[in-house]
Amino acid sequence: IGFEFGGGNMSLRISKFEMSSDNSDAGLPGAANSLLGGAGNHRWAVVEGEGVPFDETFAQAADPTRFPEAGTFSSYDEVQAALRSYLPPEIESLLNYRFEPARPNPGATPIRDPIMGLTATRSFTSEGYEAELIGNPTRNWRLSLNVGQQETTTANTAPVLVEVAAIAAANMKSLGIWGLQDAPDNDAHWTVGIRTSENVFFPLATEQAKDGTVSQEQREWRINAATNYSFSEGVLKGFGVGGAWRYQSKAAVGYERQINADGILLPLLDRPFFGPSASNIDLWASYSRKLNDKINWKIQLNIRNASGDDDYIPVVINPDGRTAVVRNPNPKEIYLTNTFKF
């Protein structure tokens, strides 16, 4: 809906919008690629290529005091076959797992064909309001104000990845590799199941937990205001001054977490850690005049981010409340422009 007033010099527009989208990127490339990555078969290939006897490797990788859920295997071939057959057959055929050079060469390395454009999807609905005021209160004074409010709700996160991950986990357990050490080239305590849970099920559960809730990672409010005044008479004739203010509200950059009954670490969506709101001011001053009947000249000094936050901006806050990743604040920029119109 729109209005005009002040003799047509001012206008106000107010909009309400709603947008929905299916099959959007759910932001889970690591989980998807980890699930298809061969569950540690390259680490097993390393120790085989180094000539370590299988009995020695298996004694470590299936040590009952450390890995009581490991299955029983009698050769590297059996382990590799299990590590390459836990996915549904139609996906296995796309990946085309193989060794180069071909086995039984002890230096053979497992490789796979990438699935181009592999993406876990989700649906979302965004709705909000936007108001824009723009015009000339006086002949020399120009102003604009834009205020926006938006909320986004997600749904149906990664349905295909959830299905494939459940099949893969069940197959890993039936094949005996879920409790098997996934990196026998070192003494780490990680098993195929632990690594799959950490890299696939934990991030997947984290994103699914947000379904049906308003995203707090999105900045709900934004405001942009700008004004400029040009002097057309007196000693300041030809001069102009102006400024702009840009504001964005705070956004969540982390959550406290809690382990659920299935042992999965989930975010507590009612306990977010917020990054700060952002507020920046721009300033400018100009002078213009006619150089002759055909050429107008204007020189303008611009100071972008003349005022604003100078501290590092948190991007990720760990579940214990400590900042893990930051980015630099917007830099202050000063530049001079000359414009000729003819």
Please write the tens of the pLDDT for every residue from 292-305.
888 999 999 999 99
Which pLDDT does position 268 carry in this prediction?
Answer: 87
Could you read off the pLDDT tens digit of each residue along the chain, which spans 342 residues? 999 998 889 999 999 999 999 999 988 888 988 888 876 678 888 888 888 898 998 998 898 998 999 999 999 889 888 888 899 999 888 888 888 887 777 667 888 888 888 889 999 999 999 999 999 999 999 999 999 999 999 999 999 999 999 999 999 999 999 999 888 888 778 899 988 988 899 889 888 988 999 989 999 999 999 999 999 998 999 999 999 999 999 999 999 988 877 677 778 888 999 999 999 999 999 999 988 888 999 999 999 999 888 889 999 999 999 999 999 998 999 999 999 998
- DSSP string spanning 246-315? EEE--EEEEEEEEE-TTS-EEEEEEEEEEEPPEEEEEEEEEEEEESSSS-EEEEEEEEEEEEE--SPEEE
Q: CB of 185 within 8 A of CB of 191?
A: no
pTM: 0.71
pLDDT digits (tens, 9 = 90+) for 102-148: 777 766 788 888 888 888 999 999 999 999 999 999 999 999 999 99
**What whole-number distance in Å separates Cα of residue 116 and Cα of residue 110?**
19
Which pLDDT does position 314 carry in this prediction?
Answer: 94
Encoded tokens for 143: 């102003």
Between β-strands 251-259 and 239-248, what pairing exists: parallel, antiparallel or unpaired? Answer: unpaired
**What whole-number distance in Å separates Cα of residue 324 and Cα of residue 12?**
43
> Amino acid identity of 19?
M
Which pLDDT does position 40 carry in this prediction?
Answer: 67
